[in-house]
Amino acid sequence: MSIALNIHLEYDNFSLISEEEIPLKGITGILGHSGSGKTSLLRVIAGLNSNAIGTVEYGDIILQNTDRNTFIKSELRNIGFVFQDARLFPHLDVLGNLDFAVKRCQSSSMTIDEVICLTQIEHLKKRHVGQLSAGEKQRVALARAILAEPKLLLLDEPLSALDNKARGEMVELLRNIHQRLDLPMIYVSHSVIEIQQLADNVLVMENGKVIQRGHVHQVINQLHESVTHGQTIQTSLSLKIQQHLPNFGLTQLDFIDAQPGNSRLYTNVVDKKINSHLRCYILATDISITLQQPQDTSVINNLQGVINNIQRLSRNSAQITVNACAQDFLVKLTRYSVEKLKLEIGQTVYIQFKANAIRSY
Ligand SMILES: Nc1ncnc2c1ncn2[C@@H]1O[C@H](COP(=O)(O)OP(=O)(O)OP(=O)(O)O)[C@@H](O)[C@H]1O
């Protein structure tokens, strides 16, 4: 099932044109600069933008069809929305805010206590909204949205006011909730890392249009610097947890489809079960290239590969794509290094990166 959009929305200096099919499975990330139209698109889906012209279909349910004068009101769409600012009722405590949602949804199959447990806010029940941190407010907003039992949850930059640690915890929480409730989500952000860590499919927006779409790793590995907007290019991948080496503070990883032991990689110890998958990324600036197989090096990760692309990024830097173990790795080098090593397409090289270069939240 999917949401099918064929929409045109016009403001004075901006138009959103979207002919898109968004899968109602997994988490879809929408990535783009500020002002690219991400929120406008979410608002159209939620029924919060009645100026939009065209059709919005949820499976075979028509949510909007301008030609037929059909427009299902937002409150009847059964679509949850968590905004950038949590939008809680400031005069109520946490329970009061959640009770309010329960009263509006007569048929909730989850109890308020179950949702409180799921969103890990037991200790906040009696607190007033003014006594909550930004991350705590977002948990409560999430609990409130879940209590209404939406069939789809829209999240508009819910982590933008959080520090790095709280972001990591929220990403983990959102992933758990998605899995436990099998609740499709559309998640908007301008952070490549948030989208990389959370989304299964990604749409990239620019100037009111979707310019790129596909599986998360594929889209992120093809992002152009104009979209990453100062965020470093990265290799996005999922690796299998092979074993933990607690004495060294390391976890051994492998490519998901690789024969065991063929292509060992190491990262700083990760709290995940053996054989589970780690969604991770390596910044292009964290990988270096050598022409000979490194010997006696302190850099723990070394892979042989072949250069399959060299792209100039600026006057003095280039992005090199090295295919190693059937995975493309993106490497950012200075023009000086590219010329010094005489790098060219088809050449066999070795890439190397430290354990802490394999990052995840
Ligand atoms: N109600 C409105 N009236 C006029 N212009 C609007 C309105 N809402 C949004 N816009 C304009 O539409 C464009 C897209 O806005 P939108 O909020 O969808 O972008 P965004 O990608 O979500 O940005 P951000 O990441 O900053 O939230 C912007 O130029 C914005 O100024």
What ligand 1 atom has the least distance to the C-alpha of 32?
21
Q: Ligand 1 pocket, 51 CB below 6 A?
A: no
Domains of the chain: 2-223 (3.40.50.300), 235-357 (2.40.50.100)
Number of CB atoms found within 10 A of residue 88's CB: 22
- The structure's pTM equals 0.90
Exposure string over 52-72, b if 16+ CB within 10 A, otherwise e: bebbbbbeeeebbebeeeeeb
Q: Ligand 1 pocket, 279 CB below 6 A?
A: no
In the structure encoding, which two tokens stand for residue 182, read together? 């099998």
Q: Ligand 1 pocket, 11 CB below 6 A?
A: yes
Mutational test site, ligand 1, from 9, 12, 14, 85, max ligand atoms within 8 Å of CB: 14
In the structure encoding, which two tokens stand for residue 76, read together? 């009847």
In eight-state DSSP terms, residue 291 is: S
What ligand 1 atom has the least distance to the C-alpha of 41?
18
The amino acid at residue 241 is I
Q: Ligand 1 pocket, 139 CB below 6 A?
A: no
In tens digits, the chain (361 residues) has pLDDT values of 999 999 999 999 999 999 999 999 999 999 998 999 999 999 999 999 989 999 999 999 999 999 999 999 999 999 999 988 878 888 889 999 898 777 766 666 788 899 999 999 999 988 999 999 888 999 999 999 999 899 999 999 999 888 888 888 899 999 999 999 999 999 999 899 999 999 999 999 999 999 999 999 999 998 866 666 666 789 999 999 999 999 999 999 999 876 665 568 999 999 999 999 999 999 999 999 999 999 999 999 999 999 999 999 888 999 999 999 999 999 999 999 999 999 999 999 999 999 999 999 8
CA distance 246 to 19: 50
Number of CB atoms found within 10 A of residue 246's CB: 8
- State in Å: Cα 82 to ligand 1 middle: 17
Q: Ligand 1 pocket, 168 CB below 6 A?
A: no
Q: From residue 83, how far is each of 121, 142, 159, 285 by CA, in Å?
A: 18, 9, 10, 33
Mutational test site, ligand 1, from 9, 10, 39, 48, max ligand atoms within 8 Å of CB: 39
ipTM (interface pTM): 0.96
